[in-house]
Structure formats: structure tokens, C-alpha cells
């Protein structure tokens, strides 16, 4: 029998995502009622600027007192889409203290304080859901946390930031430089006025921390993730990738060590072969590979940002939290029993593409090759071009540790015949 008393929802934030959540709750009210088993009522909307017109949100629900809203005591679920660390953290913990479950899209907060938030939720018998924090409408958190709970996940590899994918896609397709591609992304609304979080890899690193923690049942925070952005990627790098039959993507890579005793989490640009499925991910789309012992390779693809896609993920979590409220139960909490250490980037083994500007004279190639050999870095291929006393060497290595490659590069920089180490990029996906 369906319950007639509605479950009450407080919405914190009513921007692009929040307003779409409110709209869907209103327009799909009957469907949500049928799926949950009880009506869902939007009981209040906390905003910073109350005078802004918000279509579809009744004026009497709008408040600037977010703390008072979450303290009401009759709120069943709080939806947090304001972002940032504070006041979001205080509001969420206050919601738990007053008996509410929480649905959040806050990647920064979850990647930094996920363990404390899970503990606070567990103490109060509440839920904490955050599917929307990782890749918009793409279901990743729930499959990792629930569908693959009986399997062993070994690797998560993917494109988790639409802005950077759009920029790199434009650079690859049109030959544009980074600045031109960023300007286009900004004009089309894919990049924020301040794009730092996206282009410097902070956004992707937060998502990598969340995915690694869930996949490997261990605590991984934003500080554990090695991060490099795309601001140093040049048109020459894109052209070099094309000559290798590759393209450049900003990848989030979370891996379990071969011996199972540690994990790594990193975000950086990398060349991937055109034959790899991730190479065909265009525009602002996201895609993630999950590799597990029993399930094998799984690929998740779709829009990774935007009001409607992110609201879809929020509403999915809202339905789950409401169902649990009706059943007097909670969903999966934090699983960190493995307690695996996170290895530093220096231990990561991969292939590298290195471009060197060198003097155009006999013996340079042999000298460079000797440096690689001294540091135990095996060379796969070398391409050399020279003209008017100047030359370039493009070296592609076999798999080597980041520490060994870094030592190699430092030695190369000290050679009189090496004018500059023009670029270094990892090669993934093989």
C-alpha cells in the first residue's frame, strides 16, 4: 500500500543543476511517486540571491537561511548542489544530525572529506549518495559500489572532464592551439570564465579519487592523486600523436598494483592509439573503462556535465534515498577495508613520448641513446629530423617507471648537445 504522507526534500542550491532538479521533481511527480512508493515534496530551496527569478520554483519555498532549512526536523532528504567545501560540509553534517539523508553532486567535498561524511551518515543511520559527483548522467558510482561488489576491480581508465576533452578534440580536429580551443570552449559554454579547475586537472583528480576509493575499497583523497593539466599541450604534441597513429586525451587512471599490495591514482594528458575506444570520444562527452577479474572490460559513455545530465544522476540517488527512508534501511556506506597504500607517481610504469631539440651533428643520437640506457629506459622508436645545424629527436620508450624517466630527462638536460626537452607525454591504452 502506497504511503500518502509525502517525503520532504530540501534543495541546497538552485543554479543550473538545482533548477533542473526542481523542474524534474515537479513535472515527473507522478512517476517519482510510483517509483518510490510515496509522494515527494519539495519543502524548501536555499539560495544566496533570493531575488533572482527561478522558473518553476514557488517563491514561498525560497530561503537564504540554509542552516534553518536543514534543521527543520521534518526533512527526509537534503539535496546539495551548491559545491565547494564550506558551507556545504557544515550543511551536510547538520542534515545528518537532524535525521536527513543526503544526495550530493559535490566532487570536491567528497574527494576531500568522504570518509568523515560517511562516518557521520553511518552514526545517524542516514544515507550519503553522490552519483552526480563523478560523471554527470553516466552511472559509475553505483555500478562500482553495488553491481561489482562481488568482483575484483583492477583498473579504472577514462575521460571524466568534458571541458578538456572538448579542447583537445578541437586541437586534434582543426589544428588549433590551446588558447584558440579554450576560447571556443568558453564561447560555447563548455568552459567557465575561470577554467582552472578543468584545464589544470583538479576536477578530474577529484573524480579519480572518488572512483579509486570505491573501486579498490581503500581511502583515496584528492591529495593522493597525481595531477597534470592540459595547459602545456601544444599543436606540435597533437601533430606528433597523429604521426604515431594516436590522439591526446586527458585521462584519469586508477590502478591496482600487479601484486595487489598498493594502488595508484593519476590524471594527466596521454597519447592513446586511434584504435582505442576512448580515442573516438568527441566533444564534451565522457567515457570510462572499468576492468575487473570476472566482468572483464566494461565501458560507460555519455554526457559528463550539464544541468539535465547531472540532475538525472541526482534524481536517481534521490529515489534510492527515499526508498530507503520508507523501508527504514540504508544503502551501502563506505567500504575501505583494504586499507591499501597509494603509491607515488615515481613508481608508475608506462610508455613515454619525448621530443628533444638537439644539435645537428654526428654522434648526438648515440649520446642520447646512451643516457636512456644508463637509466634503464629502453627505447622503442626514434625519429630524427635536422636542418641548418638544428635537429629534433622524437623518442618513444618501452614501459619505464616515472622515476627512471625523470632521471633520464634530468641527465639529458645537462648535455651540451641537447638544446631543449621540448615535450614529454605518456603513452597509454596499449
Catalytic residue numbers read 207
E strand map for 200-348: 226-227, 246-256, 263-273, 285-292, 296-303
Q: What are phi and psi of 4, to 5 degrees?
A: -90, -30
Q: Pinpoint the alpha helices (H) of 251-398.
A: 307-327, 364-374
Of the candidates 279, 266, 258, 263, the residue with the CA atom closest to the CA atom of residue 204: 266
Q: Are 103 and 318 in contact (CB under 8 A)?
A: yes
139-168: buried (b, 16+ CB within 10 Å) or exposed (e) per residue?
Answer: bbbbbbbeebeeeebbbbbbbbbbbbbbbb
Q: Which residue's entry shows cell 627505447?
A: 379
As a 3-state breakdown, the chain gives helix, strand, coil percent values, each rounded to 5, of 40, 25, 35
Q: What are phi and psi of 97, to 5 degrees?
A: -60, -25
Q: Find residue 231's DSSP bridge partners.
A: none
What is the Cα–Cα distance from 97 to 114, expressed in whole angstroms? 17
Q: What angle do CA 351, 352, 354 make, to 5 degrees?
A: 165
What is the Cα–Cα distance from 322 to 330, expressed in whole angstroms? 10
Q: Are 356 and 421 in contact (CB under 8 A)?
A: yes
Cα atoms in the Cβ-side hemisphere of radius 13 Å centred on 119: 6
Under DSSP, the state recorded for 330 is: -
Q: Specify the 3-state DSSP secondary structure of 10.
A: strand
Contacts of 408 (CB under 8 A, 6+ apart): 371, 372, 375, 377
Q: Are 350 and 426 in contact (CB under 8 A)?
A: yes
Amino acid at each position: 500500500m502506497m504511503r500518502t504522507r509525502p517525503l520532504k526534500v530540501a534543495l541546497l542550491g538552485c543554479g543550473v543543476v538545482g533548477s533542473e532538479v526542481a523542474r524534474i521533481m515537479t513535472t515527473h511527480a507522478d512517476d517519482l511517486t510510483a517509483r518510490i512508493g510515496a509522494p515527494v515534496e519539495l519543502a524548501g530551496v536555499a539560495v544566496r540571491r533570493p531575488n533572482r527569478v527561478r522558473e518553476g520554483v514557488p517563491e514561498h519555498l525560497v530561503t537564504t537561511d540554509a542552516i534553518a532549512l536543514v534543521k527543520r526536523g521534518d526533512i527526509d532528504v537534503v539535496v546539495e548542489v551548491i559545491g565547494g567545501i564550506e558551507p556545504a560540509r557544515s550543511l551536510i553534517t547538520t542534515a545528518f544530525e537532524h535525521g536527513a539523508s543526503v544526495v550530493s553532486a559535490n566532487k570536491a567535498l567528497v574527494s576531500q572529506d568522504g570518509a568523515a561524511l560517511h562516518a557521520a551518515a553511518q552514526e545517524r543511520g542516514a544515507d550519503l549518495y553522490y552519483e552526480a559527483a563523478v560523471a554527470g548522467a553516466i552511472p559509475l558510482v553505483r555500478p562500482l559500489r553495488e553491481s561489482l561488489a562481488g568482483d575484483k576491480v583492477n583498473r579504472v581508465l577514462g575521460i571524466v572532464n568534458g571541458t578538456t576533452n572538448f579542447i583537445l578534440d578541437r586541437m586534434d580536429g582543426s589544428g588549433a592551439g590551446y588558447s584558440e580551443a579554450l576560447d571556443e570552449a568558453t564561447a560555447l559554454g563548455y568552459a567557465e570564465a575561470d577554467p582552472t579547475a578543468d584545464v589544470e586537472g583538479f576536477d578530474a583528480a577529484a573524480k579519480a579519487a572518488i572512483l579509486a576509493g570505491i573501486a579498490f575499497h581503500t581511502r583515496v583523497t584528492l591529495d593522493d592523486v597525481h595531477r597534470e593539466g592540459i595547459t602545456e599541450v601544444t599543436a606540435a604534441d597533437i601533430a606528433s600523436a597523429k604521426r604515431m597513429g594516436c590522439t591526446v586525451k586527458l585521462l584519469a587512471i586508477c590502478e591496482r598494483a600487479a601484486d595487489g599490495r598498493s594502488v595508484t591514482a593519476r590524471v594527466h594528458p596521454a597519447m592513446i592509439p586511434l584504435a582505442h575506444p576512448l580515442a573516438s570520444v568527441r566533444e564534451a562527452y565522457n567515457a570510462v573503462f572499468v576492468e575487473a577479474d570476472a566482468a572483464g572490460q566494461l565501458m560507460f559513455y555519455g554526457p559528463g556535465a550539464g544541468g539535465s545530465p547531472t540532475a538525472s544522476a541526482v534524481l536517481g540517488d534521490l529515489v534510492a534515498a527515499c526508498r530507503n527512508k520508507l523501508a527504514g534501511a540504508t544503502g551501502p556506506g563506505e567500504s575501505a577495508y583494504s586499507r591499501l597504500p597509494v603509491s607515488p607517481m615515481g613508481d608508475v610504469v608506462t610508455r613515454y613520448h619525448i621530443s628533444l631539440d638537439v644539435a645537428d651533428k654526428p654522434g648526438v643520437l648515440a649520446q642520447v641513446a646512451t643516457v636512456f640506457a644508463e637509466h634503464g629506459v629502453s627505447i622503442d622508436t626514434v625519429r630524427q629530423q635536422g636542418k641548418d645545424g638544428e635537429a629534433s629527436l622524437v623518442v618513444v620508450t618501452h614501459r619505464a617507471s616515472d622515476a627512471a624517466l625523470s632521471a633520464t630527462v634530468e641527465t639529458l638536460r645537462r648535455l651540451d648537445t641537447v638544446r631543449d626537452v621540448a615535450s614529454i607525454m605518456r603513452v597509454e591504452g596499449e
